Structure 1
Amino acid sequence: MAVVETAKRFLASFDRPARILVAVSGGSDSKGLLLALKEAIEATKPTEFSLAACTVDHALRPESAEEARGVASFCESLGVPHLTTRWDGPKPGTGIQAAARAARYALLAGAAQRFEASSIVTGHTLDDQRETILMRARRREGPGAAGMAAATLYDRRIWVFRPFLAVERSAIRAFLEARNVGWFDDPSNANPRFERVRARASLASSPATGGGVWDARSRARSSAVAAALLARHVRVHAGLVAQIPPAMADQGRDIDWQRALLTLATVLGGRAHLPAAGTVERLVNALEQGTPGRLTAGRVVFDRRSTGLYLYREARGIEDLTLQAGQTAVWDGRFLIRNDGDGPLMVTVEGGRGPQQQRLIAAGLPPGVAGRASLSAPRIVRDDVKSVAPVTIEPRIGLYDTFLPGFDRIMADRIAGLFGRQPYLPPPVHGLLTEMEW
């Protein structure tokens, strides 16, 4: 059957031996994925792979606990070890699906660590992909807006794979029905208050609404080109300022360079997403004029001078952060800071005329750029002025540090290098650029 053959192709790409954690909600997609992987392993490499399963109980419906117990029984019948994890605590009144997604991946990563799994797999299908593409098209996201990646690095520590991303849900359900396996239907999947449900209804009534076919290989090629442009034309100083030569300052109509430039701005601004299409158009129009001056977009100043284009965080809206001994937290979305001392500290802005400004000037930046950029540089303040306990400050790449799509890994590694970071964790599969060929 095509479903099992897809699972076999996925496993053939894996480094072995491996234990794989399957996220199983009780719906048809995830139960079909678990069963197909089990059959594929038994038919090909029974000694090289093992499976574990995890169900995340979001505790949003009274039935969820019973459904999780049903999944546990199903896994037991297959001889697959299973763990239920629960999303405890108060739930937000708005943005519940985004919050549930964040909680789900954090809980799955913890379960993978407990099972000593090398990766996580989820049951997303071609139907989910079409819905995602439609939703992002409707939001008019900026350049490079894409569908879901078949491989995503979560939290810089574990890869999440979607082996069924090119398989239709109807095929998975036919596979389960042929084996007399039932599934749960989450009622939230029919609630029109959620964007994905509305997109699903649009596609059902008019399949052409979904637009063109999403090609991960094209996105990977674009990322590779953008990474090469970054390598040739960009320098980043102290994680604070990106320096771009005059010849590249007005090339924003080139889509690959546009992606490179906006990725830089997103990281410097401490954001997790590229600017929306309207912001991008305003920025590109301004840069095309070629006149000196400053423009702010996405919390980042685009400072155009005769010596080039300089990008840095605007000096407003930056809140202080207090860290207790041994605590780690993100400051302003831009820096991951760990307090290695035995007392509290506060992270605030340098405010100018400090050591960071002098370092930027020494690096060859115009004094005006160095002065403005240093206004948003981090400064550590301790109650005990005599304390010399170390503080670890690492640039954070909000665009990729939580979810890094596999097709953007070349770009992400280039950005990491520009900001003085090590490359991201490589995936435990062969040929990331051909990830859709599983």
Structure 2
Amino acid sequence: MLAPLIAAIEAQLGATPPERVGVAVSGGGDSVALMAALAHYCGSAGVELHVITIDHGLRPETKREVALVTDLCARWDLPHHVEYWTGWDGQGNLQAAARDARYELMADWGYANRIGTIALGHTADDQAETFLMRLARGSGVDGLSAMAPRRVHHGITWVRPFLEIERSALRHYLRAAQITWAEDPSNASRDYERVRVRDALTILGTLGITVDKLVEVTDHMARAREALDWQTFLAAQEMAQVIHGVIAIDLAKFRLLPQEVARRLMVHTLSWTSQHSYPPRKDPVARAISAVRTGQTATLDGCQVSVEGGMIWVYRELNAVKDTVCEVGDMWDDRWLITGPEDDPELEVRALGYEALANIDGWRDIGLPRAALAASPAVWYDDELIAAPFVGLDDDWSVELDGGKDAFFAALLSH
């Protein structure tokens, strides 16, 4: 049973694997099986394997699970690090917050230990369960697509070698190898949506709707997503420009786009401009598209979308950045780097604003909407405006967009 697991790992790590690989292990059967298989693979491939466990402190059983992983790592002579999450403030979605924190903590650990690749223990069952949960929410092509076996996020390459292997096969391997794992008691509680979905899969299986069939559907959806992404990329190349970080889209051409391609282009434009981790919700996006098709202005996701001169303009909303402050030399609004002749710590980078813009001659000649310029970065000393590179105030100062304007187009295909 070990051979197909090793083959799945080799398929993701490639012919020339990295010198160091990390693996996230909770103590559950999926991640323990991944760690065990990786220990065999890395031992023969000359790869250093490092183990990380995230303790969210949300269940009393966690200490026992961490101890189990610690014992296994000692048995196999693997370095093991435990990271504790204490960031829950009781607000918002706990599961989403824990997931985001988990990835950030693992990424930080990876940076600190020169580990650029981290393996995760998701299985074919996770694919099928996620598909059904998203189907129940009415998700579109992206939501119903398969989880990617390989993805770069937070600067780390995350690999999921077991996405085509069912959970039962991993349990069979662990039993045959006499390797112990911990069962999360929440896996038996029907209070959780994923547990109810697992029960539903048992019933659906009698109709031929099995895990492997659902995984096959997610693969089809992933290919459909790739085709739509490509069409959106081509549309952006034809009708969009990046001007001082502001996106300008030809309105007439945008109106001719198929609805889904138009939606994707708008979502990408908003997400790239706001730098938010998650895309804007579909209803506000639909309203924004409807507004611009008729020449109206919309505001969402910290961005303003307006129509002027036959172009759709998408840029940061002033209210979203008016309190954003950083020192010269730091990244402002996660997008802009201003540099100049002075590195005085008392200088600040802040939004230009409407009042300061009104006192600058020739700003209309730049050709950007007034609101876009008002939300652009400028250098201030208290209430004194020192430089505004967007509008040409003081040529000794310059402003650089993170990644350059080509990053807007490249990001359409990179995910």
Change beyond 3 A, Cα 1:285–1:199: farther
- Say if 2:239 is the partner of 1:233: yes
Are the counterparts in 2 of residues 348 and 381 from structure 1 also a CA contact under 8 Å? no
What number of residue pairs does the alignment pair up? 392
Partner of 2:25: 24
Partner of 1:34: 35
User: One-letter code of the match for 2:58?
Assistant: L
1:214 to 207, 212, 218: 218
User: One-letter code of the match for 1:375?
Assistant: A
Are the counterparts in 2 of residues 237 and 360 from structure 1 also a CA contact under 8 Å? no
1:52 to 30, 50, 53: 50
Runs (5+) with no aligned partner, structure 2: 388-395
Higher helix content, 1 or 2: 2
Whole-angstrom CA distance in 1 between matches of 2:163 and 2:257: 33
Whole-angstrom CA distance in 1 between matches of 2:362 and 2:24: 48
Deviation at 1:31, TM superposition (A): 0.8
Deviation at 1:23, TM superposition (A): 0.7
Partner of 2:252: 247
Q: What root-mean-square deviation, in Å, do the aligned CA atoms of Structure 1 and Structure 2 show? A: 3.9
Deviation at 1:351, TM superposition (A): 2.4
Change beyond 3 A, Cα 1:85–1:306: closer
Deviation at 1:234, TM superposition (A): 0.7
Partner of 2:393: none
Change beyond 3 A, Cα 1:346–1:356: same
Are the counterparts in 2 of residues 350 and 376 from structure 1 also a CA contact under 8 Å? yes
1:259 to 260, 264, 274: 264
Bigger Rg, which one = 2
SS of the aligned residue for 2:45 comes to coil
- Say if 2:330 is the partner of 1:321: no
SS of the aligned residue for 1:310 comes to strand
Are the counterparts in 2 of residues 19 and 117 from structure 1 also a CA contact under 8 Å? yes
What aligned pairs does 1:105-184 form with structure 2 within 5 A after superposition? 105-141=103-139, 144-145=142-143, 146-155=145-154, 157-184=155-182
Whole-angstrom CA distance in 2 between matches of 1:75 and 1:417: 44
Using the size of structure 1 for normalisation, the TM-score is: 0.75
SS of the aligned residue for 1:67 comes to helix
Are the counterparts in 2 of residues 122 and 161 from structure 1 also a CA contact under 8 Å? yes
Deviation at 1:392, TM superposition (A): 9.7
SS of the aligned residue for 1:152 comes to strand
User: One-letter code of the match for 2:151?
Assistant: T
Whole-angstrom CA distance in 2 between matches of 1:261 and 1:111: 35
**Per-residue deviation, residues 279-327 of structure 1 (Å, max 9, x unmatched):** 444445555xx5433344545444345623222344445551344798x
Partner of 1:410: none
Deviation at 1:214, TM superposition (A): 1.4
User: One-letter code of the match for 1:248?
Assistant: K
Q: Report sequence identity in percent.
A: 29
Higher relative contact order (CA 8 A, sep 6+): 1
User: One-letter code of the match for 1:354?
Assistant: L
Are the counterparts in 2 of residues 236 and 242 from structure 1 also a CA contact under 8 Å? yes
User: One-letter code of the match for 1:376?
Assistant: A
User: One-letter code of the match for 1:34?
Assistant: M
Deviation at 1:17, TM superposition (A): 4.5
Partner of 1:407: none
Deviation at 1:41, TM superposition (A): 3.9
Instruction: Tell which deviates more after alignment, 172-181 or 141-150.
Output: 141-150
Are the counterparts in 2 of residues 127 and 168 from structure 1 also a CA contact under 8 Å? yes
Runs (5+) with no aligned partner, structure 1: 397-415, 427-431, 434-438
- Say if 2:97 is the partner of 1:99: yes
User: One-letter code of the match for 1:59?
Assistant: G
Partner of 1:354: 357
Partner of 1:413: none
Whole-angstrom CA distance in 1 between matches of 2:226 and 2:405: 19
Partner of 1:67: 65
User: One-letter code of the match for 1:312?
Assistant: Y
Partner of 1:375: 374
User: One-letter code of the match for 2:25?
Assistant: V
Are the counterparts in 2 of residues 143 and 258 from structure 1 also a CA contact under 8 Å? no
Whole-angstrom CA distance in 1 between matches of 2:254 and 2:68: 58
Partner of 1:292: 295
Change beyond 3 A, Cα 1:380–1:135: farther
- Say if 2:345 is the partner of 1:342: yes
Partner of 1:7: 9
